[in-house]
């Protein structure tokens, strides 16, 4: 326990160093929270008010917007490539397996971008809008806040293959998931903390069906699944059909950002295989699950730090990329 506590103290000190000085190369520029203070001083307030309106209308939107940031950053870095529609030579990442029929919230980002273009044209990037919306969504759901480093620019392309290959899948092994995080400069602490975002939101039946019926190809359910919970899930997630039926990722407090996700894992009630393996397949991640289940404050602190770290994955800065006028298409 002492070893982990020391580790967190070191991480805490590390988190407040200037981001661009130790993380991925940012192509000649630093991200910093005050980036728009002079060029668009109302930017953060505009984002916050539109996100608040969207989440008040539909609580699920908080999780949807948070997920977009994750799915954007894991492909080519945090560059809003996910927001591009298919057009010309661009094949949209929205068509990838992790995003098709599940990535949502694009209309909220469109509304934010439209308002910002009126306030300060061609100034605030779509990539920064996604990062701010993720933070505001977390806060609105009752989670931690953090200062979002800003100054990302938008890509002029997308990567369907990157989206299919880099984003962890619900049925990936623990080692595959950790490898995908390490590729982005993230570690096991980031993996467990960021997985805690599954304290809000939904998953489709198709994302966890194999756990209910045929986890290892032997026709048997996943033995690490609480069987009464599994029986309850089977009523709405049959062997075939019902693919798009939605289930809470955290059945205890589905719209509240808290540490009950980790408590669910300890009682074998993680919904996705990628959730439950945090407890069953690795000693370091198991210890972290236990720590966060007992200490909500520590979870919040680490989640905020890991979100800042994730938001700094290879951003386009300086003269790289562009500031899109419309998040769905590159400037002509």
Q: What is the pLDDT of residues 167-182, one digit of tens each?
A: 999 999 999 999 999 9
Binding residues: 72, 75, 77, 79, 81, 93, 168, 198-199, 250, 258
Binding residues for substrate: 168
pLDDT value of position 29 = 64
**Cα dihedral 183→80→303→19 (10° resolution):** 70
Q: pLDDT tens digit string along 18-37?
A: 444 433 344 446 899 999 99
pLDDT value of position 25 = 41
pTM: 0.91
Binding residues for heme b: 198
Residue 71 is a catalytic residue: yes
Cα separations (Å) of 323 from 131, 244, 315, 326?
A: 15, 35, 13, 9
Per annotation, catalytic residue among 27, 38, 69, 71: 71
**Tokens at 35, concatenated:** 């980036």
Residue whose C-alpha is closest to residue 315's, from 72, 112, 95, 89: 72
**Tokens at 158, concatenated:** 């997308």
């Amino acid at each position: 326990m002492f070893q982990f506590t020391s580790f967190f103290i070191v991480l805490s000190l590390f988190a407040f160093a200037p981001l661009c000085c130790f993380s991925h190369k940012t192509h000649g520029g630093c991200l910093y929270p005050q980036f728009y203070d002079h060029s668009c001083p109302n930017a953060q307030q505009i984002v916050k008010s539109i996100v608040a309106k969207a989440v008040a209308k539909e609580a699920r939107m908080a999780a949807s917007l948070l997920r977009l940031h994750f799915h954007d950053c894991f492909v080519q870095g945090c560059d809003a490539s996910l927001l591009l529609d298919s057009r010309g030579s661009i094949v949209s990442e929205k068509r990838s397996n992790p995003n098709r029929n599940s990535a949502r919230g694009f209309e909220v980002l469109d509304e934010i971008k439209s308002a910002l273009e009126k306030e300060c044209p061609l100034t605030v990037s779509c990539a920064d809008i996604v990062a701010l919306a993720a933070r505001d969504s977390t806060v609105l759901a009752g989670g931690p806040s953090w200062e979002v480093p800003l100054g990302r620019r938008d890509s002029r392309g997308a990567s369907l293959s990157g989206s299919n290959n880099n984003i962890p899948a619900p049925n990936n092994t623990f080692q595959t998931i950790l490898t995908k995080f390490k590729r982005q400069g993230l570690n096991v602490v980031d993996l467990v903390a960021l997985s805690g975002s599954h304290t809000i939101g939904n998953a489709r039946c198709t994302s966890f069906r194999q756990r209910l019926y045929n986890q290892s190809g032997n026709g048997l359910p996943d033995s690490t699944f609480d069987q009464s919970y599994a029986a309850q899930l089977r009523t709405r997630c049959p062997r075939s059909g019902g693919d798009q039926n939605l289930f809470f990722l955290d059945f205890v407090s589905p719209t509240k950002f808290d540490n009950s996700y980790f408590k669910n894992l300890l009682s074998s009630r993680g919904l996705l295989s990628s959730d439950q393996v945090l407890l069953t397949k690795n000693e370091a991640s198991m210890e972290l699950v236990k720590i966060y289940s007992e200490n909500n404050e520590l979870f919040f602190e680490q989640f905020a730090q890991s979100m800042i770290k994730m938001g700094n994955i290879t951003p386009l800065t300086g003269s790289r990329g562009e500031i899109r006028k419309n998040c769905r298409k590159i400037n002509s």
